[in-house]
Amino acid sequence: MYKSIFVDQCGYLPEMTKRVTFRSDNPVAFDVITSDGHRVFHGTASARIENLCAGETDYVGDFSALTAPGRYRIVSDSLSESDTFEIAGDVYEDVFQKAFAFFYLQRCGCDLPTSAAGIYAHRACHTKQAFVYGTSEKLDVTGGWHDAGDYGRYIVPGAMAVAQLLYAYETNPSLASLYHKPGDSTDTADSASLPSCLEEIKYELDWMLKLQREDGSLYHKSSCYRFCSTIMPDAEQDDIVVSPVSATATADFAAVAALSIRFYKKYDPIYADRLADAARKAYEALRIMEPFQGFKNPPGISTGGYGDPHDTDERYWAAAELYKAFGDTKYREDFELFAKQQIYHGYGWGNMGTYGNRAYLTTEYSTDIDLKNKIIEEMITLAEEKLRIAEQDGYGTCLKAEQYHWGSNMVAANNGLHLYDGYCLTGRREFLNAAADQLHYLLGRNPMGLCYLTGCGTDAIKHPHHRPSIFLGKAMPGMLSGGPCGRRADPTSKGVLPEEFPPAKALVDMSGSYSTNEVAIYWNSAFVQLLASVVRG
């Protein structure tokens, strides 16, 4: 039946603000009932909201006062009932485990045994030496995570994913330490050994290190020349090619290698030193690289481009992160020079400014206090802008109409992170609540009424654009769908949705729809970081 009451299908922590959306033209009174039909809460929804992004009228109810653990549904006279959801202190533990395990399941270059990967098991894939584009040189580039529904491995989105997973770990170590590699028992934790989370992240870092050239710069990516058909990863036997170096890849790598040092130092000082050398070397290479027009696939290669035309925010991040890691004045000078021109913001693969801001704000080395205050002020202003939009949206999301583009769910998660930053900088609860609303949006309180994370909630995405899932006929769990894409960019969604269609509903749960329903490591990482943040409170 057509849904008209929308909640977070994965549930709520008892202390969380809990909001529900009603798609209705008339005012709404509602009840929250237990699984056996007892009414435990009665409420009336707030004022009417004309929701232009979703092309509908909404009312919003608040049942935060209900804190007792249990399983519930929301009902209202003339509307169809909500999905069942739970209130409990541990509702997000399984969600976190699944979303993090996705990275393990995306591993390239090693056997994934059935005992760990279940039906997604496969033999080591993409193990051939790669051609360095345009030369006869060959290179070992095995390892890393497959980027998305395809099997390419790209430095720029990889760096973003690593940064976000590290931040998730740092923000909420107790949640992160519950993560265990699939197939491992949950109680192997021993404080001297590398936590499973960090072990997984290291798998990507190890691969990134292989893409660093002798001169310090980074090849942009390793992939086949073109996307393969719908086959398992170990069946893709085409030649692998390493694309030319880029400033964005070099800067992102320098930054993320520098960021990683402090996480690995305690467990593996030799590895931490290796990261430190690699970061410094990449930075020196970056310094003499010309500003460029963005990476473009060279003739013959047609896999993912990640052709961000602006490399200043990446250089900004690198400078800040190396300053925080090493304290050399040259890094500080570089960062401050950029930041005095413009303060950058963003958690996305094309806009990396916030990572730089976080590094500069938290460095132990000396800083320019005025600049620091200005960064803080701008971060709070950004959170305030997002809060204002969220407060006027029927689903509490701060996605503006034009932000429903390819990967809008990443934008939703990153918006939540900007709100969470506002909370950390001011202590204002409304920022935390709005950050949590971005999570709830992704997990079911959205105009599609779908849980956008596969294998979670009561009614999740079932047909993501993800080669192993399509090949095996079952969606791998724990993957965040790209989300509604107003300007559809794949034949499947173009064939299904009319030209004029509300952007917030432009998602097609069909495996062909890569512009609305693909998955990607850096969409999952945004989700993981948001989850770790709001659960910490």
DSSP secondary-structure letter at 420? H
Asked if residue 468 binds ligand G3I (CB under 6 A), the reply is no
Report whether 223 contacts 304 (CB < 8 A).
yes
For ligand G3I, the closer of residues 149 and 449 by Cβ is 149
Which of ligand G3I, ligand 9MR, Zn ion, none is residue 337 near (CB under 5 to 8 Å by kind)? none
CB of 82 to ligand G3I, least distance (A): 31
CB of 237 to ligand 9MR, least distance (A): 17
Residues near ligand G3I (CB under 6 A), total: 16
Residues near Zn ion (CB under 5 A), total: 4
DSSP secondary-structure letter at 120? G
- Enzyme catalytic residues: 150, 465, 509, 518
d(C-alpha 419, C-alpha 423), whole Å: 6
d(C-alpha 431, C-alpha 357), whole Å: 19
Asked if residue 148 binds ligand 9MR (CB under 6 A), the reply is yes
Other beta carbons less than 10 A from residue 7's beta carbon:
28
Q: Which of 227, 267, 471, 501 binds ligand 9MR (CB under 6 A)?
A: 227
Asked if residue 252 binds ligand 9MR (CB under 6 A), the reply is no
Asked if residue 236 binds ligand 9MR (CB under 6 A), the reply is no
Place of tokens 């969409």: 523
Measure CA of the first residue to CA of the last residue in the chain; give whole Å: 35
Residues 283-288: contacts with CB under 8 Å, at least 24 apart: 283/216, 283/254, 283/318, 283/319, 283/322, 283/331, 284/216, 285/213, 285/215, 285/216, 285/217, 285/250, 286/216, 286/217, 286/247, 286/250, 286/251, 286/254, 286/315, 286/318, 287/334
CB of 512 to ligand 9MR, least distance (A): 6
Asked if residue 380 binds ligand 9MR (CB under 6 A), the reply is no
Residues near ligand 9MR (CB under 6 A), total: 6
Report whether 372 contacts 360 (CB < 8 A).
yes
Distance from the Cα of residue 338 to its chain's centroid: 26
- Residues 286-305 close enough to bind ligand G3I by CB under 6 A: 304-305
For ligand G3I, the closer of residues 4 and 516 by Cβ is 516
For ligand 9MR, the closer of residues 275 and 521 by Cβ is 521
Asked if residue 149 binds ligand 9MR (CB under 6 A), the reply is yes
d(C-alpha 535, C-alpha 378), whole Å: 25
Among the listed ranges 147-155, 373-381, 471-479, 527-535, the one in contact with ligand 9MR (CB under 6 A) is 147-155
d(C-alpha 515, C-alpha 521), whole Å: 15
Backbone angles phi, psi at 118, to 5 degrees: 55, -135
Both tokens assigned to 353: 């400014």
Place of tokens 């390419």: 152
Report whether 484 contacts 505 (CB < 8 A).
yes
- Residues 497-526 close enough to bind ligand G3I by CB under 6 A: 514, 518, 520
d(C-alpha 241, C-alpha 347), whole Å: 28
Binding mask 224-263 for Zn ion (x = CB under 5 A): ---------x------------------------------
Which residue number is nearest to ligand G3I in terms of Cβ?
304
For ligand 9MR, the closer of residues 225 and 227 by Cβ is 227
For ligand 9MR, the closer of residues 149 and 346 by Cβ is 149
Q: Which of 13, 45, 148, 399 binds ligand G3I (CB under 6 A)?
A: 148
Binding mask 89-118 for Zn ion (x = CB under 5 A): -------------------x----------
CB of 502 to Zn ion, least distance (A): 38
- Residues 275-314 close enough to bind ligand 9MR by CB under 6 A: none
For Zn ion, the closer of residues 123 and 487 by Cβ is 123
Which residue number is nearest to ligand 9MR in terms of Cβ?
150
- Strand 138-139 and strand 19-23: the pairing is unpaired
Binding mask 313-352 for ligand G3I (x = CB under 6 A): -------------------------------------x--
Asked if residue 407 binds ligand G3I (CB under 6 A), the reply is yes
d(C-alpha 335, C-alpha 53), whole Å: 38
Report whether 256 contacts 212 (CB < 8 A).
no
Smallest CA-to-CA distance from 58 within 24, 91, 87, 34 is with 24
Q: By the criterion CB under 6 A, which residues form the site for ligand G3I?
A: 147-148, 150, 152, 304-305, 350, 402, 405-407, 487, 489, 514, 518, 520
| Interface contacts to Zn ion, rule CB under 5 A | 108, 125-126, 233
Q: What is the contact surface with ligand 9MR in residues (CB under 6 A)?
A: 148-150, 227, 514, 518
